[in-house]
Structure 1
């Protein structure tokens, strides 16, 4: 079998960092871990070609060569996902699909013409698919309620990647999350009982990346790295000596719940293991909203002090914030802005609430008749796909203002500086070289923020202060400023997209009023 594995185009979004990548001479934030893991599960005798369409497009020769096309996708990729399915079918190729989006919305792929739906987790459903192929089945949907033992998951085919194109490479330690936030689909996809790999597995994966020459960011893409705290600590205690012996070749980042602040040992182990950044879903400083969405883990301690505690230990925080929860009070955007300023968090994944299919929120809103047809692309430029309890126009305009203000260059520089000044300046000693990629990015930052913009005096003063007081954080600090370049540009796109949708909504309401009158 000749299989062509395709990863669809990722539209510009919070996570794309497109402007930052352009400045660094890179092409994509990170590769599709799921798809290259599936590649490792396919029969050894198969021939495989992998194409990340964010790096390069497949050729007509690739299409002519293959017998089978395998495509994975997330919801934000659905436009290119559908186009690829349709092209494969039109060319007479068998098309198999999988990943989070078709697992949540299988009818989308079926309507586009996909022959095989390999849903849920591949360790269980890839064998079903291969057996069906061997029996000559022309179509099939393969699902499994079973949650696989990830200690049996093979190492992803990192050798298929053009590593020079990426900012970060991804690995996975665990699947699942013990919490039950109403709006989140992770527990639907992976369950509430976190399953973890062994430390030996993880060190093998790190060694593969090391041997391939990788020396930049490694994103541990768990939805909650500390879902199983005991196993996370066991892994970290094994990782620390490996990182020390290899002179800290990677910069590590991950996602974790805010209750990380409750465990001093765990925070210290993460820092000593080389973690420098953690993404945390804070969502909102409004306690009533947190209770309403069942995110009780964020109500046990003071949110701001929890953030400060994690930052002081040496971890830069990235955070998720959402507007539009039921019974949200006016001024939520201003309150989120104030929270971000007080914590100094540089990068904030701030968006309007979206109801994801088959979540508890989706099911509740469906029963209440509040879902809106035709919406549901998840990115900052999308209006909510349900009827909120506040006027949608008021909510959206409040969000536009807040998102715009958060990513004004001067406030961004100031709070990034405060955030890093708060941090413990410890970093493991490394022999990792500063490459042309970093030099290119840092030169662009100095030019834009240190010369072109009105931030010039603030930029050089802050950079000097960081270099004098926290010299080991200079690299991380400049990368954080480089990330800001993406958001300084992206906010224009978000504002324009939302204003167009708002205009359409207002016109529709005016026409309704005219029709009634």
Structure 2
């Protein structure tokens, strides 16, 4: 009898800036922002005689009564609570539970009691042995993978995935990042030596995603442009591939570092290839905080000028923003707000500094006895972005929470958010050589995205006024319309996230600075 396995990507423990939980909240089709690469890639490594079923919990309920011989769970720290909850439920039903992925690799001692088989590290090199053992029924309790050559990574099994319910497809062209940011757990898992798939592999994966109807793809690299020669070669290939598509090209998004702006050629190639927006970990305008966290690539430059260079090439930005570094005093919240309002970046992923397990920051906080204790929050880091697992250096935890609560409400008050969108519309300049023939988004969930955008008007009179002003302004720069719709969708998701966490208190935006004497917030500190 053929062995069977049920591969599950659990929901996150809390809505996120990059989530799509707003669809469910508004009674629309369950949707995920980015199609899951983990379970589809693992499925591609299974021997042909395995029966495999995929479950992305963002899209389908987990079947706790699955008849599969093996249950495979994966997840990041943001999914850890739900992942372990599901593992325990399957254990109670007598199932053989396998757990792998980033969280299992970085926090094995937490995961160990919840699984029969623990998979640490990347799976490509150990997959043949693991699945042969499962097939024979003589499996080990732990398998440890390394950092394999990505040319051995198979094409994900997108034919098994419900692609019609994912907004964006996903391709990982590399793993690893040479930088050494103290708070980053990615390099602890994927390493500082970046490894790459071949251009041929990447284009083959894009061909399949295109066939499945996607109009956009997230390039899930830790730092897409860090090796310039390789990045340029790939961008040229993406540009040429996009021009060949009969139904229009794909819009790409990715993650990269701000030092990319130093080289005009690579920004131009991004625009020509269809890279429409990027996530940049700006973190803070406080250079002392950047130095302490070893985020050296952001030090000694004019952040505002460098960020504008992306917009000058028609590339939108989502900015990472962190408060609570050791060099941050109570003035950091006003300073971050002033910085944000000087940019043309509407979306900032604001969060408190957290110390994920296995990071240098975690080790330093542990040595200084500054890690919060009492449960597994230490290892999960934080579910909601305003939570933290460390004790700040220059302010109390209460001051940190009061400050970030003020900052979040100030940033996303419709007046301030609307102002940044208007600044974006005014300053955005699409490159003359940029691809302009993009594939139309025609699926049901794409239509529902517009319903979510329109729902912003129903949040209140200030929101309705903001919406009207923004839509009117896009007529003066029509090439910004796609970007603006994405921003408005993400704004609605953020408002939902803030409301779910009892974080949304718009009256705080009336104050020009945080009121640190106000301790009435119902939000949990951890």
* TM norm. shorter chain > 0.5: yes
Instruction: State the distance in 2 between where 1:391 and 1:433 align.
Output: 47
Q: 1:103 aligns with which of 102, 105, 123?
A: 105
Give yes or no for contact 1:36–1:157 (8 Å, CA) kept in 2. yes
Find out whether 1:206 has 2:206 as its counterpart: yes
Unaligned runs of 5+ in 1: 506-517
For 1:235, the equivalent position in structure 2 comes to 234
State whether residues 169 and 217 of structure 2, in contact with CA within 8 Å, keep that contact through their aligned partners in structure 1: yes
**1:30 maps to which residue?**
34
For residues 137-192 of structure 1, what are the alpha-carbon distances to aligned partners after superposition, in whole Å with 9 as ceiling and x for unaligned?
Answer: 35421113x32110121111111111121121211011000100011111111111
Q: Report which stretch shifted further, 80-89 or 444-453.
A: 444-453
**For 2:447 and 2:73, how far apart are their aligned partners in 1?**
35
Residue in structure 2 matched with residue 14 of structure 1 by the alignment: 17
* CA distance 1:472–1:25, shift in 2 (3 Å): farther
The equivalent residue for 1:513 is: none
Equivalent runs, 1:83-94 vs 2, <5 Å = 83-94=85-96
2:252 matched residue in structure 1: 252
Residue 77 of structure 1 is matched in structure 2 by 79
Which residue of the partner structure matches residue 217 of structure 2? 218
Report the alpha carbon displacement of residue 325 of structure 1 after superposing the two structures with TM. Answer: 0.7
Structure 2: 5+ residue stretches without partners: 505-519
Query: 2:487 aligns to what?
Result: 480
Tell me which residue corresponds to 1:391.
396
Please give the TM-score of this superposition, normalised by the length of structure 2. Answer: 0.89
User: Taking structure 1 as the reference length, what is the TM-score of the superposition?
Assistant: 0.91
> Hey, what's the Cα distance between the residues in 2 that align with 1:433 and 1:489?
24
For 2:42 and 2:303, the matched residues in 1 are separated by 39
Are 2:225 and 2:256, in contact at CA under 8 Å, matched by a contact in 1?
Answer: yes
SS of the residue corresponding to residue 225 of structure 1 reads: coil
Distance, in Å, in 2 between the alignment partners of 1:486 and 1:60 is: 29
Q: Which residue of 1 aligns with 2:196?
A: 196
Q: Is the counterpart of residue 430 in structure 1 residue 422 in structure 2?
A: no
Deviations 1:217-275 (A, max 9, x none): 21111111112221111111111111011154322110001111111111111111111
Q: Look up the match of 1:511.
A: none
Contact 1:450 1:457 in 2 (8 A): no
Deviation at 1:58, TM superposition (A): 3.3
Please state how far the C-alpha of 1:479 moved relative to its aligned partner: 1.9
Within a 5 Å distance, the mapping from 1:45-84 to structure 2 comes to 45-59=49-63, 63=66, 65-84=67-86
Shift of 1:381: 4.8
Q: 1:372 deviation in Å?
A: 1.5
Q: Following TM superposition, by how much is the alpha carbon of 1:412 offset from its aligned partner in structure 2, in angstroms?
A: 1.1
Task: Name the structure where helix makes up a greater proportion of residues.
Answer: 1
Aligned residue in 1 for 2:521: 499
Compared with structure 1, are the counterparts of its residues 370 and 434 closer, same or farther at alpha carbon in structure 2 (3 Å cutoff)? Answer: same
Match of 1:335 in 2: 335
Report the CA distance between 1:279 and its aligned residue: 0.2
Secondary structure of the residue aligned to 2:294 is coil
**1:228-377 → structure 2 map (5 Å cutoff):** 228-246=227-245, 247-373=247-373, 374=375, 375-376=377-378, 377=380
Task: Label 1:21 to 1:30 Cα distance change in 2 as closer, same or farther (>3 A).
Answer: farther
Alpha-carbon distance between aligned partners in 1 of 2:446 and 2:49, rounded to the nearest angstrom: 40
Partner of 1:384: helix, strand, or coil? coil
Query: Which moves more between the two structures, 485-494 or 355-364?
Result: 485-494
Residue 161 of structure 2: aligned partner: 161
Q: 1:470 to 1:394 in 2, by over 3 A?
A: same
Distance, in Å, in 2 between the alignment partners of 1:447 and 1:349 is: 21
Q: Please report how far the alpha carbon of residue 495 of structure 1 lies from its aligned counterpart in structure 2 after TM superposition.
A: 4.3
Cα distance, 1:32–1:263 mapped onto 2, change above 3 Å: same
Distance 1:478 1:325 in 2: 33
Tell me the alpha carbon deviations over residues 92-149 of structure 1, each in whole angstroms, 9 at most, x when there is no partner: 221111011111111222122x1111110111232332344356435421113x3211
Deviation by residue 1:335-376 (Cα, 9 ceiling, x = unmatched):
111111111211111111111111111111112222112224
**Is 1:471 aligned to residue 478 of structure 2?**
yes
| Aligned CA-pair RMSD | 2.3
1:122 paired residue number: 123
Which secondary structure does the structure 2 equivalent of 1:147 belong to?
A: coil
Q: Which moved more, 1:260-269 or 1:85-94?
A: 85-94
Q: How many residues align?
A: 498
Q: 1:106 to 1:60 in 2, by over 3 A?
A: closer
Instruction: Tell me if the contact between 2:239 and 2:272 (Cα under 8 Å) persists in the aligned partners.
Output: yes
Q: Take 1:472 and 1:435, find their aligned partners in 2: how far apart are those partners?
A: 22
Residues 422, 473 of structure 2: 8 Å contact kept:
no
**Greater displacement, 399-408 / 446-455:** 446-455
8 Å Cα contact 1:168/1:218 also seen in 2: yes
Distance 1:42-1:437 versus aligned 2 partners, 3 A rule = closer
Structure 2 residue 497 is the aligned partner of structure 1 residue 490: yes
Match of 1:379 in 2: 383
Contact 1:26 1:167 in 2 (8 A): no
In the alignment, structure 1 residue 177 sits paired with structure 2 residue 177:
yes
Q: Distance in 1 between matches of 2:444 and 2:57?
A: 24
CA contact (8 A) 1:321 1:348 kept: yes
SS in 2 for 1:343: coil
Q: Tell me, in whole angstroms, the C-alpha distance in 1 between the residues paired with 2:489 and 2:405.
A: 23
Distance 1:451 1:117 in 2: 45
